[in-house]
């Protein structure tokens, strides 16, 4: 990269540079935007780290001198969009109806310790990552997914670019560690020349005409478009969190600037125009001011509606267990939904894996609902943020379920929670094949190289398939409200009647389901659970077929095996 540096031209005129670059975008294909989603509560999301899913086109495994290093999970492994196209049937048969793709834009390819295989190191916001394929490949993926009824969410980054420049303190034009990740400057932008680490600075899309039929132009980012404060050192400091460079030298965009906000809106609107995707997963939400998200969301909704696309999902990653903090980003015209980290940490990890009392889950299951707005945003997904939130048991930023405990029953119990609470369920690729990677790169294994890759007879694949089918069949599991019916105060690390038992009911009109979960690793959990079913109703466990009858007081006596579940429906 050292031979490709050039100094930032802070005095360059925006429009003059834009005109020189515009020709490359004017001929991009235009598609018709359509609304492919009726109700996001009907969907099941399957998360894909593209480089790690399947390699459908080995010709893009080596580009510009940077290639796959097989087995080194810090480096590119070769997955691409053609690989995803080839496996859409596998995803569909699993029961997923939406895919969430890792970021699609051109990335910094390689640095001294890692590659940009994950997609979060943008080097150009206007071009596809050629290591995943061409724009035509991406468009073909979305089109084939839509043909199958599968919706597509793509991951986007507005907080930062990749390591696209360094702070040249000594003026010698060569990067040293202290110039890549200098300490945070509280006084303001660092007073040092900036040196690009690529032949051209990152570009963004800008619509410079009021005529919506005129394509946008590609314009370069300049020094003033970045905060230039150096590395965040105190993540509890809200100013540093929003203005400091992200760890590893990712350059923080100045998202308080009007032209940067407009550029992010224009850029990601353009990606929808080019691909017809159905939603965005928004990375690193708390590192960007709330005012940005409100403006971004309102503008995107309005401009997509003008083009005929509705119910476009804006799904935020607020990596925090504080429900109030999560909810704050869904107010005042902000995000449609967030990932439910309290559910992950309090129910999946705390109750199932750590053995905490079931009573500790009440907040995550229902009590936090009141923090969120009671209705959706104008022009949004037509659901309240609580209804649209996404439940997950794992993702690319945390160890896999099997890493913590190599027990198929625990993993299946976790996925039962994900599929039966009142949220949109998400599956992290490879969970269905019992991948067991740990922290960081280790939880992003190449699925096609797994011992039993894409095995549709695998135990967890079939368990998730069953849960997805039940969710489709039982309206209450998609639309119903949730009421906790029983939550033991006895830890699953102890012995006692009902220890480890959690039961909740989903109800929507005449559709009703009772879910009973036993988090205890060795003991059956037995208790009488009150229900909303009429006395005398015959119930069937949709998982194993056991029959029960509701007693004269509207309750049912359950006996749940260790780390198992009952999903009781009326016969």
Contact between residue 254 and residue 260 where contact means Cβ atoms under 8 Å apart: yes
- In this prediction, residue 261 carries a pLDDT of 99
Average pLDDT over residues 511-530: 98
pLDDT tens per residue, range 369-423: 999 999 999 999 999 999 999 999 999 999 999 999 999 999 999 999 999 999 9
Contact between residue 557 and residue 551 where contact means Cβ atoms under 8 Å apart: yes
Contact between residue 206 and residue 216 where contact means Cβ atoms under 8 Å apart: yes
- In this prediction, residue 24 carries a pLDDT of 35
Is the pLDDT confidence value at 21 over 50? no
- In this prediction, residue 199 carries a pLDDT of 84
Query: All domains of the chain, ordered by start, with CATH?
Result: 2-473 (3.20.20.80), 480-570 (2.60.40.1180)
pTM of the model: 0.94
pLDDT tens per residue, range 447-502: 999 998 999 999 999 999 999 999 999 999 999 999 999 999 999 999 988 999 99
Contact between residue 269 and residue 303 where contact means Cβ atoms under 8 Å apart: yes
Name which residue leads in pLDDT, 86 or 31.
86
Is the pLDDT confidence value at 4 over 80? no
The rounded distance, in Å, linking the Cα atoms of 121 and 218 is 19
Q: Shortest CA distance to 480 belongs to which of 561, 411, 567, 549?
A: 567
The string of DSSP letters for 72-91 reads -TTS-----HHHHHHTHHHH
Average pLDDT over residues 199-215: 91
Q: Please report which confidence band the pLDDT of residue 30 belongs to, taking 50, 70 and 90 as the band edges.
A: low
- In this prediction, residue 381 carries a pLDDT of 99
The rounded distance, in Å, linking the Cα atoms of 268 and 442 is 30
pLDDT tens per residue, range 227-273: 999 999 999 999 999 999 998 999 999 999 999 999 999 999 999 99
Three-class secondary structure assignment of 156-170: ECCCECCCCEEECCC
- In this prediction, residue 210 carries a pLDDT of 85
- In this prediction, residue 8 carries a pLDDT of 36
Q: Shortest CA distance to 4 belongs to which of 109, 115, 159, 90?
A: 109
Is the pLDDT confidence value at 550 over 90? yes
Contact between residue 418 and residue 393 where contact means Cβ atoms under 8 Å apart: yes
- In this prediction, residue 17 carries a pLDDT of 34
Q: Please report which confidence band the pLDDT of residue 31 belongs to, taking 50, 70 and 90 as the band edges.
A: low
The rounded distance, in Å, linking the Cα atoms of 533 and 509 is 12
- In this prediction, residue 26 carries a pLDDT of 33
Q: For residue 94, give Cα distances in angstroms to 77, 447, 471.
A: 24, 15, 13
What are the phi and psi torsion angles at 426 (to 5°)? Answer: -130, 140
């Amino acid at each position: 990269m050292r031979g490709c540096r050039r100094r930032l031209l802070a005095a360059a005129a925006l429009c003059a540079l834009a005109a020189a670059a515009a020709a490359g975008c004017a001929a991009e294909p235009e598609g018709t935007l359509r609304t492919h989603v009726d109700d996001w509560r009907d969907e099941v999301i399957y998360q894909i780290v593209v480089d790690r899913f399947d390699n459908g086109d080995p010709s893009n495994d080596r580009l510009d001198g940077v290639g796959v290093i097989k087995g080194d999970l810090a480096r590119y492994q070769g997955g691409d969009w053609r690989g995803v196209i080839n496996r859409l049937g596998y995803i569909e048969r699993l029961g997923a109806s939406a895919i969430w793709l890792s970021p699609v834009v051109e990335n910094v390819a390689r640095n001294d310790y890692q590659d940009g295989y994950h997609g979060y190191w943008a080097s150009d916001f206007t071009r596809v990552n050629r290591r995943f394929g061409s724009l035509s490949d991406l468009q073909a993926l979305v089109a084939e997914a839509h043909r199958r009824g599968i919706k597509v969410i793509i991951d986007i980054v507005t907080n930062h670019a990749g390591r696209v420049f360094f702070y040249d303190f000594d003026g010698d034009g060569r990067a040293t560690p202290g110039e890549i990740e200098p300490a945070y400057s509280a006084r303001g932008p660092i007073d040092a020349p900036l040196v690009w680490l690529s032949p051209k600075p990152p570009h963004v899309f800008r619509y410079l005409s009021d005529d919506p039929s005129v394509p946008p132009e590609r314009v370069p980012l300049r020094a003033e478009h970045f905060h230039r404060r150096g590395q965040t050192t105190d993540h509890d400091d809200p100013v540093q969190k929003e203005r400091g460079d992200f760890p590893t030298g990712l350059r923080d965009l100045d998202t308080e600037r009007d032209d940067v906000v407009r550029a992010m809106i224009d850029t990601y609107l353009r990606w929808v125009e080019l691909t017809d995707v159905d939603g965005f997963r928004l990375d690193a939400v708390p590192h960007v001011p709330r005012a940005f998200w409100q403006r971004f969301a309102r503008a995107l909704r309005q401009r997509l509606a003008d083009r005929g696309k509705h119910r476009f999902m804006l799904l935020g990653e607020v990596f925090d267990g504080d429900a109030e903090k999560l909810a704050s980003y869904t107010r005042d015209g902000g995000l449609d939904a967030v990932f439910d980290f309290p559910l992950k940490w309090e129910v999946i990890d705390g109750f199932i894996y750590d053995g905490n009392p079931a009573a500790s889950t009440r907040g995550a299951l229902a009590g936090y609902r009141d923090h969120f707005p009671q209705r959706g945003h104008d022009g949004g997904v037509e659901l309240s943020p609580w209804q649209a939130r996404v439940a997950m048991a794992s993702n690319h930023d945390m160890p896999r379920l099997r890493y913590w405990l190599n027990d198929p029953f625990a993993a299946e119990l976790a996925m039962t929670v994900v599929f039966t609470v009142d949220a949109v369920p998400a599956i992290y690729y490879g969970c269905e094949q019992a991948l067991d990677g740990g922290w960081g790169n280790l939880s992003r294994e190449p699925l096609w190289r797994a011992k039993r890759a894409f095995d549709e007879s695998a135990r967890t694949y079939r368990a998730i398939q069953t849960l997805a089918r039940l969710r489709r069949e039982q309206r209450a599991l998609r639309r119903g409200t949730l009421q906790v019916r029983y939550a033991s105060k006895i830890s699953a690390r102890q012995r006692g009647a009902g220890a480890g038992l959690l039961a909740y009911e989903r109800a929507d009109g005449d559709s009703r389901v009772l879910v009973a979960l036993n988090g205890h690793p060795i003991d059956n959990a037995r208790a009488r659970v009150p229900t909303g079913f009429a006395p005398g109703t015959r119930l069937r466990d949709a998982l194993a077929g056991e029959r029960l009858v509701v007693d004269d007081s509207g309750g049912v006596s359950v006996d749940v095996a260790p780390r198992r579940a009952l999903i009781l429906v009326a016969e």
